[in-house]
Structures are given as structure tokens and as C-alpha cells.
Amino acid sequence: MERMQQVVGRARAAFSSGRCRSLEFRLQQLKNLERMVREKEKEILAALQSDLHKCGHNAYSHEVMGVLGELALVMENLPSWAAPQPVKKNLLTMRDEAYIYPEPLGVVLVIGAWNYPFMLVVQPLIGAIAAGNAVVVKPSEVSEHTSQLLADLLPQYLDEELYPVVTGGVPETTELLTQRFDHILYTGNTAVGKIVMAAAAKHLTPVTLELGGKSPCYIDKDCDLAVACRRITWGKYMNCGQTCIAPDYILCEPSIQSQVVENIKATLQEFYGEDVKKSPDYERIVNKRHFRRIVSLLEGQKIAHGGETDEASCFIAPTILTDVSVESKVMEEEIFGPVLPILSVKGVDEAIEFINSREKPLALYVFSNNKKVIKRVISETSSGGVTGNDVIMHYLLSSLPFGGVGNSGMGAYHGKHSFETFSHHRACLIKDLKMEGMNKLRYPPGSQKKLDWAKFFLLKRFNKVRVGLSLK
């Protein structure tokens, strides 16, 4: 407990010094972070290889490239984001200065996840630094090599007092959560998300929770199945299925189920070859505990493809399940592995009904040649995000907020949305001490005449052309 108090206390003292408020300081820290990623690229890729069996090009494209892109975007736009934003005024405030001033929240806690252990720590860190906060960084202990690397590297490139790294497991995180923060961003599962939120509530600390859930994928029969299945296969089996917005299950009509299976099987061979275990592009389950959890989901299921496992190397082959029951274990929890159940529905009506009968997912995917079908699914369901005729790609567009809703989380980040998440949008109005006569409308004693004038100034809406003419 004492150690965590010291870490947070030093960060708060450093924040209170005011040095992280200047735009120049923030930009310099972001430049230092960019330099770290470029100079230590080999070490980062090696850590990801050790934790998740990611080959170099996969590790770079899945994690490093997104971080560099985010850094470039933020550094280019931060001066305009951090500037006071003027707002519209009414007749009573025409002579005054009114604006929104983005100010840092204070000391922020970022708790990362193990499935993309570099990106899911550094990306929110970028937004928190850009907004002028001190940040306590807690990488996931499950991805131990990347966690230790971040603990070693970040103090070499960033202000050590403002941006400390805390390593360790559940006891350390539990102790950390007893401290008071000004914002907490957590990426992980819903059960832990509830613990984080309960701890934050004791200090009235706002939270951003990036959770998960079972993200559905509806395939309309009016669809190019070869293209749809190739895109689904990429998103589902990337990182061995350990992606929070991977398609969790497929909904389609029985008449196209066999075609869906065959197209996915063909794509798997195209992507990973005859022996997927030997493919450098196919990752592994992060540890034996998660391996056993995923294998247990296969019990009693009809395996249409795959199903091969090797506990020693945490290998689970890309697997397709058919004729899956809604009541089966594989449909109760987020799979977070390379297992893809296919459920039969009669059409889009039943698909929408099924999606709405479950918790709101982090992502939702729809494939159809008919954009009206896609728009209908969007309008009649709810999810953190949606991609039509593809998967995962909405995550890669920084102008879109990334976040959940309901059981899949709250709040959002990425690009400018990260800056806004980690900023307090302060309402500012500056008046002068002249024209005191106008204020008599609000001073006692009241009268009907004063009320009528107040209505005129506050409630009247003028046509812009008429106002322009009257001012000439």
C-alpha cells in the first residue's frame, strides 16, 4: 500500500508543479515516445513474439504501426485541440468572451490488456499525455515480457515522475485501485471492469471501460460469400482469435451455412497453408489457463473444421462449429480464441431479434449487397461500433470513437476522442465591468417589464439576414 501511495503521490506532486501543462512539454514527451518506438522496435517485436508468438510483420502491423500513426496524428493536431474553443453567444453576452478551455484532469491510471499488450497501453497513454495529465501506467502481467519491457523503456524516454510504470499482478492492481485518481481507463473483461468501477466510485473517479462481449456477425444471403468469408477469417483468427472486437459468432440462414464453412476453410488454407501450426502468421494462446478455458468450450460441439490442440505450445487450430445451440457453453461467454460458432437464423428479422436479446456487444458486423439491410441492422440494434461488409476496420479509423456500450463498456478513445476523454472541458465566460444597466434585468426587485425584456434577450430567435440588416 505504501509503495502505491508513493508512486501516485510523486505523480500528483509532479502534476501540481505545472510542468506538464505547457504545450511544448507535452509535444516533447510525445516526440520522446515516438523516438522510443522507433529506436526500440526490435525489442518491442521480440517481446510480442515471446508473449503471443507474433511474427515480426504481424507484431509491427498489429501494434507498432497503429501507435506511430496515433502519435503523428496527435502531434500534428494537438495545438488546435488544446486551444480555447469559442462558442456561440446570446444577446446578453455579445460583448463578452465565451469559450471552452480543455484542461488536464490530473493523475490518470491506464490499465492495459494482454492481448495487444503494447498498443493497448501506449495508445491511451498518448491521449493522456496530450491532454496534459500525469499517467500511472499498469501493463498486464499476463503478457510478462511486454510488461517488463514497458517498465524498462518508458522511464528512459519519458518524465519518470509524471509517467511511472507499475508492474505486478492482482495484488498490485488491487492496491493501486485504492488510490485516488482523476480518471481510470481500463481495457479487459467485464468482471474486472465492475471491480475497477466500484473502486473508482469511492473517489467519484470517472472511468473509461473498454470491455468486450460476444460480437455478432450477420451474413445476408444476398452477399458475395467469398469476399465476406475472407474478411471474416482475417478478423476472427488474427492474433489467434484474441481480439476484443473479433467476430465472436456468425448468424446466417441454413441455406448458405455450408457455403460459409467451405469459403472459410478455403481462406484458412490460403492464409496459413496446409499445416497451420507451421505458419509464422498464426499466433498462440497466451497461456495454459486460457488454453484450457477455450478447449473446454469445444466439448459436445459439432466441429466442422479444425479442433486440433497442443497444450505444450498453447496451439489451437482455427476451428469452425456448426449447428450450435444458443444454450451451449460456447454461446455463454466471449470466446476470445480461434473458435467460430455458426448459428442459423431465418433472416435479418430473426438476426436482429437474437442480437437484441443479448448484452450489447463491443462490435457488430453485417455483410450484404443491400445497404438498406446494413442500415436497418444499425438502426435497430446497439453496439459499441459497427462495420458493414468488413470486420475490425472501424477500429483503425482514428476519427471514429472506439468504445463500448452497456455491458461492453463506457467511454471512448482514439485520436481526438482520446484527448477529449482525458480533458475537462471547462466552461469560461469573461465579462467586463461596463454596461451595468443591462444587469438590472436580473437584479431585484422583479417586475413584468423586466421579465418581458429578459424573454426578448434570452428566448428571441432572429433570422440572420434580418439581424444583419438591422445592424447596418
Give the active site residues: 210, 244
CA nearest neighbour of 411 among 429, 436, 391, 384: 384
Phi, psi of 176 (to 5 degrees): -60, -40
Q: What angle do CA 216, 221, 227 make, to 5 degrees?
A: 75
Give how far the C-alpha of residue 46 lies from the chain's centroid of Cα atoms, to the nearest Å: 25
| Separation CA 161–CA 7 (nearest Å) | 8
With beta carbons less than 8 A apart as the criterion, state whether 211 and 190 touch: yes
| Separation CA 33–CA 122 (nearest Å) | 9
Q: Is the peptide bond before 341 cis (omega within 30 degrees of 0)?
A: no
CA nearest neighbour of 383 among 247, 253, 251: 247
Give the number of C-alpha atoms closer than 13 A to the C-alpha of residue 321, restricted to the C-beta side: 25
